[in-house]
Chain A
Amino acid sequence: ILNVEQSPQSLHVQEGDSTNFTCSFPSSNFYALHWYRWETAKSPEALFVMTLNGDEKKKGRISATLNTKEGYSYLYIKGSQPEDSATYLCAFLYNQGGKLIFGQGTELSVKP
């Protein structure tokens, strides 16, 4: 059984706060780690696809790091804005090919 765990489950911050979430995943059979953003009434959209241990990726105010040896990834949002409010999902792509397992997500609410 592959377990992908995310914490915290929910987060409420004020506009301008910086925040971070954690995704833990199996440290064996790793192929890739994905981060998605899921807004209400929309489909999940990919933020990052990370493959190499030590990877750091950035898109605007959002960045992510990856540690495949210990099985975790962090997602950071700098200076949160109300439009960042969404559920953030990480997903583990298993190296046997094809199996993409999601965590339960972190629901972020940013108050103006």
Chain B
Amino acid sequence: SQTIHQWPATLVQPVGSPLSLECTVEGTSNPNLYWYRQAAGRGLQLLFYSVGIGQISSEVPQNLSASRPQDRQFILSSKKLLLSDSGFYLCAWSVLGLNTEAFFGQGTRLTVV
């Protein structure tokens, strides 16, 4: 069966420090991978998605970047965190198809202080 691992669960980082959040998927090949953020409000803002190794689409200009060094690994990074980067980050995967849903990791609560 497929599983998704996202870590860490919580993180407190000072302003200006770097960030690396990692997400890995098991049990599937060539998944679509996503990074979302829930900041203000309840919705999920799409930050990045990837349909293959090295293919990253950025949705929102910001202080973050993403990489996909391996088929089932998706990394969210920042060189220098801002206060506005605080929020709840979710990684998700899916397989492109008409009747397939997205599956989410447990999320990372990032607080920039």
Contacts and interface: CB of A to CB of B under 8 A. Distances in A.
Interface of A: 6, 9, 31-32, 34, 36, 38, 43-46, 49, 51, 87, 89, 91, 97-105, 107
B43 A103 contact: yes
Contacts of A31: 98
Given A43-B90, A97-B96, A104 B42 contact: yes
Given A97-B96, A100-B34, A100-B94, A46 B101 contact: yes
Interface of B: 32, 34, 36, 41-46, 49-51, 57, 59, 90, 92, 94, 96, 98-107
A99 B51 CA distance: 9
Contact of A100 (B42, B49, B99, B107): B49
A109 B21 CA distance: 32
Interface on chain A toward B: helix, strand, loop, or mixed SS?
strand
B102 A46 contact: yes
Contact of A105 (B42, B94, B106): B42
A29 B105 CA distance: 28
A101 B36 CA distance: 10
Given A43-B105, A89-B44, A105-B43, A98 B51 contact: yes
Contacts of A6: 43
Contact of A99 (B43, B57, B101, B103): B57
